Structure 1
Amino acid sequence: MGNLPRSRVAHHQRPFTYCGLDIFRPMEVIVGRRREKRYGVIFTCLTLCAIHIETVAFLKTHSLIMALRRMAARRGWPRHLYSDNGTNFRGADKELQRTMQDLDQEYLRSVGVNNGMDWTFIPPAIPRWGGACC
């Protein structure tokens, strides 16, 4: 057996520093008197095998970014995020990169809001790279 990746054995790091991201099948929720379809976004801590689940209404880029912001508000921003090659993931990465270029980097560093998240997309034919087998 080969060595484990650095993200799996990172010691003295807070949970969800190294994180896997995936969207799972739709579920029905009741809002008022109607039933609506919602999708689940699962964030997996690759070091501790902890999970955080958010729901999104649409499989769109802005929905995924809002789920990421809600997760980061509770758990802190991940340093490294792994996900598959979904178009909403690619769009979220591009939009976050564009936004980060438009923001004042010095101000963000001084406040400590942004630590520079790396987003890695796994190869299409290798699903075992995407999450933790805990």
Structure 2
Amino acid sequence: MGDLPKRRVTPSPPFYVTGVDYAGPFLIKDRQGRGCRTSKAYIAVFVCFATRALHLELVSALTTEAFLATLKRFVGRRGKPAQMYSDNGTNFKGAYNELSKLADFLQNNANSLVEAIENKGISWSFIPASSPHFGGLWESGVRTVKYH
């Protein structure tokens, strides 16, 4: 059996290296009683690589904007991760592209601000397409969420 990857065994703060995936869809009601409407919702599962702790966030849609709002709530609660891992979902790719555009805009317009942001930036890694076994750590978190 091979050794675990270095990012899994290196001591680090919780959620310093994080994997993210979606679980769902789940049907949620907008209110109680008669005449309530149901809509689809998803759960964003953030998995800490060092401790395997789970952080769950409710997401209203599979859009880039919804994921960016979820990521903002996650960062507000747990702190900004140094490394994010995810599959090649269009919402994750879109979020990566939006964050890259923001970084490019700031880099072209404000040098002192960029230096502060570059030190706190998120490095994003995507697993190869059509290979969910590469994301086994967060896929097992999704399975746990669906079970419970």
- TM-score scaled by length of structure 2: 0.80
What is the aligned length? 132
**Matched ranges for 1:66-81 at <5 A:** 66-81=69-84
Partner of 1:116: 121
Partner of 1:21: 20
RMSD: 2.0
Report % sequence identity.
38
Deviations 1:28-77 (A, max 9, x none): 22222322211111000011000001111110111111111100100001
Looking at CA atoms only, which structure, 1 or 2, has the larger radius of gyration? 2
AA aligned to 2:134 is W
- Alignment of 1:106 with 2:120, yes or no, is no
Partner of 1:126: 131
- Richer in helix (by share): 2
- Alignment of 1:93 with 2:85, yes or no, is no
- TM-score scaled by length of structure 1: 0.87
**Matched ranges for 1:59-70 at <5 A:** 59-70=62-73
- Richer in strand (by share): 1
Gaps of 5+ in 2: 142-148
**Matched ranges for 1:6-17 at <5 A:** 6-11=6-11, 13-17=12-16
AA aligned to 2:21 is D
In 2, the alpha carbon distance for the partners of 1:38 and 1:113 equals: 33
In 2, the alpha carbon distance for the partners of 1:129 and 1:10 equals: 20
